[in-house]
Chain A
Amino acid sequence: MSRIPALLVTHVDLGAALVAAAEQIYGPFEDVGVLSNTGLARADLERLIRERVAAWSHGGLVLTDFPGGSCQQCGLLAGRGHDEIIVISGINLPGLLDYLHNRERYPVGELAERLMAKARDSVRVQRPPQA
């Protein structure tokens, strides 16, 4: 199975910071692009995403930080008409790491569902043990 590419589209430098954190844990990796929405109008962000995903011949994942935000909406606009481009919002470090571990094992749809579950499951509320 071929590797599923991904593009992180986030506010400010969050995408670059997630990649840096993931590289510290996973090691160096390729085929994950980063795009910030800083200073970009809706139309320009949509165009830049479309340009970045144009080379994805077998689909890929657009990973965005915030549901309802410009990154998610422009990802959906840019991917319109492409069945194999999937937009995920609410990406976090556990989700990104799970993507890296599994991006050559699953087709894009299954990978997206798995990543979403992993990211969601990683948000936990715990109290420290009481001595």
Chain B
Amino acid sequence: MSWQNQRVDDRLIHGQVVVAWGGALRFARLYVVDDQVAATPWERDLLADAAPGVGVRILTVAEAAAAWPAEQAAAGGAMLLVRDLRTARALVEAGAAVPRFTLGGLHYAPGKTKVAEYIYLDEADRADARALLARGVELLVQDVPAARPQALAALDPGVAP
């Protein structure tokens, strides 16, 4: 079964991930792909404790790209988290065959414009989204399992190639 969902969320592990997605998918492993977190021991420890009952694995982009095929063949389900589209793009460009990313939470910051209630993008984000779409990666917007997934390109013409 393995990869069940790949999510872009600037909060990484939090309530929606643990309760809503964890309850719906029953994934056995939760991958956090983030070079900064992977390099910070106390932050690794903090995230490792944030999802009780789930095997939390914190990897760099390079480590995750290398681990992608083995996880794809593993028993049980897995969910993957990255904090932004830049990391999502880096993961794909490093060789991970990610079929789609679900944008679950990219919150407001100066310079970003609203795409959905919980998705704000700037021009750098849009460039990363275009690069992912050009590689055939599907980009959806969906915060929780009960919500209807929508194509990012349908919500934001700015990401159209």
Residues of A5-55 at the interface with B, using a CB-CB cut-off of 8 Å, are 11, 39-44
Contact across chains for A42 and B46 when beta carbons are under 8 A apart: no
Binding site secondary structure of chain B? loop
Complex Cα spacing A66 to B52, Å:
12
Contact across chains for B11 and A42 when beta carbons are under 8 A apart: yes
The yes or no answer to B131 lying at the interface (CB within 8 A) is no
Residues of B39-80 at the interface with A, using a CB-CB cut-off of 8 Å, are 42-43, 46-47, 49-52
Complex Cα spacing A105 to B110, Å:
44
Contact across chains for A69 and B10 when beta carbons are under 8 A apart: no
The yes or no answer to B13 lying at the interface (CB within 8 A) is yes
Q: Which chain B positions have C-beta within 8 A of A70?
A: 11, 14-15
Contact across chains for B13 and A11 when beta carbons are under 8 A apart: no
Complex Cα spacing A11 to B42, Å:
24
Complex Cα spacing A12 to B56, Å:
27
The yes or no answer to B18 lying at the interface (CB within 8 A) is yes
Q: Which chain A positions have C-beta within 8 A of B82?
A: none
Q: How large is the interface on A (under 10, 10 to 19, 20 to 34, 35 or more residues)?
A: 10 to 19
Q: Which chain B positions have C-beta within 8 A of A66?
A: 15, 19
The yes or no answer to A77 lying at the interface (CB within 8 A) is yes
Contact across chains for B46 and A77 when beta carbons are under 8 A apart: yes
Contact across chains for B107 and A41 when beta carbons are under 8 A apart: yes
Contact across chains for A44 and B46 when beta carbons are under 8 A apart: no
Complex Cα spacing A68 to B106, Å:
19
Complex Cα spacing A77 to B108, Å:
20
- Where the two chains meet, the residues of A that have a C-beta atom closer than 8 Å to any C-beta of B are 11, 39-44, 66-70, 72-73, 76-77, 80
> Can you pick out 14 interface pairs between chain A and chain B where the beta carbons lie within 8 Å of each other?
A41-B10, A43-B10, A67-B52, A68-B15, A68-B50, A68-B51, A68-B52, A69-B18, A70-B11, A70-B15, A72-B50, A73-B13, A76-B46, A77-B46
